[in-house]
């Protein structure tokens, strides 16, 4: 049987908690990306996942995506163009307003999303096997509290977590304050990972 959580401290006791969270998040990203590449989705990047999450809620325009993800319209246009060229996003014209163009996920995108979900399910099972149910539940509660304290829990629930530097370098320069920051809460971090 693998050791539970309380036995791991002897190895990583000198690493601070924020660093552990950042390293764990980066490792999860890498594992999901490897699964995507094995499935043929070789050009997807973590920043694309933020757009996928918004479009899972339904069609949106570029301006709506930019607003909801707190990035510039120019940065979002660039990312959407990448996804369109890769076959993950389709542009449709509104029957009510010919000037309005909406973006929708393609079947290719939905296949990638399922692949990423499967990778996370397997990781969660591995984690449960390593921690046990009690420590796994404690970890989930702790991470939920952390998201609340950082002021980003609502953005995570609404699938509108600002991607910050994950989208483009230009977006990082033009990122608007998050809703939490604007209301005096803690600012968001860019450590939220793709593949929700």
Mean pLDDT score, 146-156: 87
144 and 25 Cβ atoms separated by less than 8 Å = no
Mean pLDDT score, 153-176: 59
State yes or no: pLDDT of 7 exceeds 60. Answer: no
Give a yes or no: residue 169 inside a domain. yes
Nearest CA-CA partner of 120 in 24, 35, 18, 3: 35
Model pLDDT, residue 13:
75
Model pLDDT, residue 36:
97
Which residue segment(s) compose the domain that 118 sits in?
5-182
Give a yes or no: residue 193 inside a domain. no
pTM of the model: 0.70
Tell me phi and psi for residue 55, to 5 degrees: -75, -15
Give a yes or no: residue 189 inside a domain. no
CATH of the domain at 22: 1.10.10.10
Give a yes or no: residue 195 inside a domain. no
Looking at the DSSP assignment, which residues form a beta bridge with residue 89? 105
148 and 157 Cβ atoms separated by less than 8 Å = no
- With residue 35 as reference, give the H or E element that holds it: helix 17-38
Q: What's the DSSP call for residue 2?
A: -
Give a yes or no: residue 187 inside a domain. no
Mean pLDDT score, 139-159: 88
SS3 of 7, please? helix
Q: How confident is the model at residue 162 (pLDDT cuts 50, 70, 90)?
A: low
The count of domains in the chain is 1
| Distance from C-alpha of 173 to C-alpha of 161, rounded to nearest angstrom | 17
Q: Is 13 or 40 the better-scoring residue by pLDDT?
A: 40
The alpha-helical segments, DSSP class H, found in 39-132 are 46-55, 62-68, 73-85, 107-131
State yes or no: pLDDT of 194 exceeds 60. Answer: no
Model pLDDT, residue 11:
58
Q: Is 94 or 41 the better-scoring residue by pLDDT?
A: 41
Mean pLDDT score, 18-22: 88
- Tens of pLDDT along 69-113? 989 999 999 999 999 999 999 998 867 766 778 999 999 999 999
State yes or no: pLDDT of 189 exceeds 50. Answer: no
- Token readout for 119 is 């990778």
| Distance from C-alpha of 128 to C-alpha of 122, rounded to nearest angstrom | 10
Give a yes or no: residue 125 inside a domain. yes
Model pLDDT, residue 108:
98
Give a yes or no: residue 141 inside a domain. yes
| Distance from C-alpha of 176 to C-alpha of 11, rounded to nearest angstrom | 39
Give a yes or no: residue 9 inside a domain. yes
């Amino acid at each position: 049987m693998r050791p539970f959580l309380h036995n791991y401290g002897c190895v990583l006791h000198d690493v601070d908690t924020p660093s552990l969270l950042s390293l764990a998040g980066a490792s999860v990203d890498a594992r999901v990306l490897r699964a995507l590449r094995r499935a043929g989705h070789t050009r997807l990047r973590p920043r694309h996942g933020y757009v996928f999450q918004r479009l899972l809620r339904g069609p949106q325009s570029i301006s709506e995506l930019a607003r909801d993800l707190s990035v510039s319209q120019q940065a979002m246009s660039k990312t959407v163009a990448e996804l369109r060229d890769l076959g993950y996003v389709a542009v449709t014209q509104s029957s009510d307003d010919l000037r309005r163009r909406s973006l929708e996920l393609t079947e290719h995108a939905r296949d990638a999303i399922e692949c990423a979900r499967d990778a996370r399910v397997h990781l969660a099972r591995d984690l449960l096997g390593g921690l046990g149910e009690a420590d796994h539940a404690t970890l989930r509660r702790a991470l939920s509290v952390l998201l609340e304290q950082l002021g980003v829990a609502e953005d995570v629930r609404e699938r509108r977590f600002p991607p910050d530097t994950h989208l483009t370098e230009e977006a990082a320069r033009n990122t608007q304050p998050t809703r939490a920051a604007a209301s005096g809460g803690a600012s968001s971090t860019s450590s939220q990972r793709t593949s929700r």
